[in-house]
Chains A and B, each alone.
Chain A
Amino acid sequence: QKEVEQNSGPLSVPEGAIASLNCTYSDRGSQSFFWYRQYSGKSPELIMFIYSNGDKEDGRFTAQLNKASQYVSLLIRDSQPSDSATYLCAALQWYGQNFVFGPGTRLSVLP
């Protein structure tokens, strides 16, 4: 069973702090990794993806990938109350195949 695991949270951080969201995956054949944000009752929306080891930055968001440790993380700098949502980690086994989603981590940014 290919699995993607996340701490369900809730993770609470004060406004302006760095939020760190973690994800591990079991299938070493996974090639690409995605972070989606989902507000309550809404559909997931892509924040960013990463497929190379190391860091990838996009604005306040940084994705980190360590394939040897099968670990993906998302850092949110200068967290805002509007970042309060559930963050879904997803793995794509290889190009063209289906995605496996983690259960999501609920983030709460306190003003």
Chain B
Amino acid sequence: DADVTQTPRNRITKTGKRIMLECSQTKGHDRMYWYRQDPGLGLRLIYYSFDVKDINKGEISDGYSVSRQAQAKFSLSLESAIPNQTALYFCATSWQASGPDEQFFGPGTRLTVL
């Protein structure tokens, strides 16, 4: 089984709809992240959470919200989807360690907003 899972893997929705993307991990990591990827722009951080009670905005949080329901679950919501939120969304996890920490990525969710 994959260590970091994302649901759904693909989603097509209409402008104005509320969408939730879910991420679960079995790695036991305390840190979780949501990124979006657009062609030519690399990965941009939306939100991150270092533990269940900690939520932080990233570079591009406007139009998004998150919920850390448990250490293993981190959800991303688009309250009212718009076409420029069409992108590939990745969840990632990492853990506090004594050295540089590696991020492990989920398989991604391809979201299309019409």
Query: How many residues of B sit at the interface, in one of the four size bands?
Result: 20 to 34
* Bound form: Cα–Cα A27–B86 in Å: 30
Chain B residues with CB under 8 Å of A25's CB are none
At the interface, yes or no: A51 with Cβ under 8 Å from chain B?
yes
Q: Mark A33-53, 1 if CB is under 8 A from B, else 0.
A: 010000001111110010100
**How many whole Å from A60's CB to the nearest CB in chain B?**
20
The 8 Å CB contact of B50, one of A41, A96, A103, is: A96
Q: Given the complex of chains A and B, what is the CA–CA distance between A49 and B101 in angstroms?
A: 9
Stretch in B41-49, B66-74, B75-83 touching the partner: B41-49
Are B102 and A43 in contact, with the CB atoms below 8 A? no
Q: Which residues of A sit under 8 angstroms from B102, Cβ to Cβ?
A: 34, 46, 49
Interface size class of A (residues with CB under 8 A): 20 to 34
CA distance A38 to B45 in the complex (A): 17
Quick check: B42 and A103 within 8 Å, CB to CB?
Answer: yes
Which chain A positions have C-beta within 8 A of B33? 98-99
List B residues at the A interface (Cβ < 8 Å).
Answer: 33, 35, 40-45, 48, 50, 56, 58, 90, 96, 99-108
Known pairs A32-B100, A34-B103 / 7 extra A-B pairs, C-beta < 8 Å: A43-B105, A43-B108, A92-B101, A98-B58, A99-B103, A101-B35, A101-B44
